[in-house]
């Protein structure tokens, strides 16, 4: 079993009002050094695959099909642990 994390976020050129609000709140808390924030989501899956590479391949496949919408989002996959 392999644990894979998919991180989905809005494309960089798309306005992220939630991220903007987070950045503004941090600025009000005197964290002026935080110049921008983008909010995304993380999906962690246990994938029963013969190899870590195959698990990542499956994660990419389901990200393209369901987890992310390519019109507005980008995603990345990473292995958390395998055994």
Partner 1 sequence: MKVGVVVFPGSNCDTDALWTAGKVAGNQSFPIWHDSSDINGADMIIIPGGFSYGDYLRSGAIAQFSVVMDEVKRFAASGGKVIGICNGFQILTESGLLPGALLQNDTLRFESRWIEIETVTTRTPFTKNLAKGQILKVPIAHNEGRYHIDPIGLENLIKNDQIVFRYHGVNPNGSIHDIAGICNREGNVVGMMPHPERAGELITGSADGLPMFVG
Which residues in this chain contact partner 1 in the complex, by CB under 8 A?
10, 14-15, 17-18, 21, 66-67, 69, 71-72
Structure tokens at 69: 């919408």
Q: Tell me 32's DSSP state.
A: T
Decide whether 33 or 71 has the Cβ nearer to partner 1: 71
For residue 81, what are the contacts with CB-CB under 8 A and spacing of at least 6?
A: 2, 3
22 vs 52, which CB is nearer to partner 1? Answer: 22
CB of 66 to partner 1, least distance (A): 7
Q: Phi-psi bin for 30: left (phi > 0), alpha (psi -120 to 50), beta?
A: left
What minimum distance in Å lies between the beta carbon of 50 and partner 1? 26
């Amino acid at each position: 079993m392999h644990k894979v994390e998919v991180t989905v976020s809005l494309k960089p050129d798309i306005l992220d009002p939630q991220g903007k609000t987070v950045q503004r709140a941090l600025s009000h808390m005197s964290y002026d050094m935080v110049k921008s924030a983008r909010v995304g989501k993380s999906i962690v899956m246990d994938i029963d695959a013969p190899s870590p590479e195959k698990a990542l391949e499956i994660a990419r496949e389901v990200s393209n099909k369901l987890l992310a919408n390519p019109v507005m989002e980008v995603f990345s996959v990473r292995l958390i642990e395998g055994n």
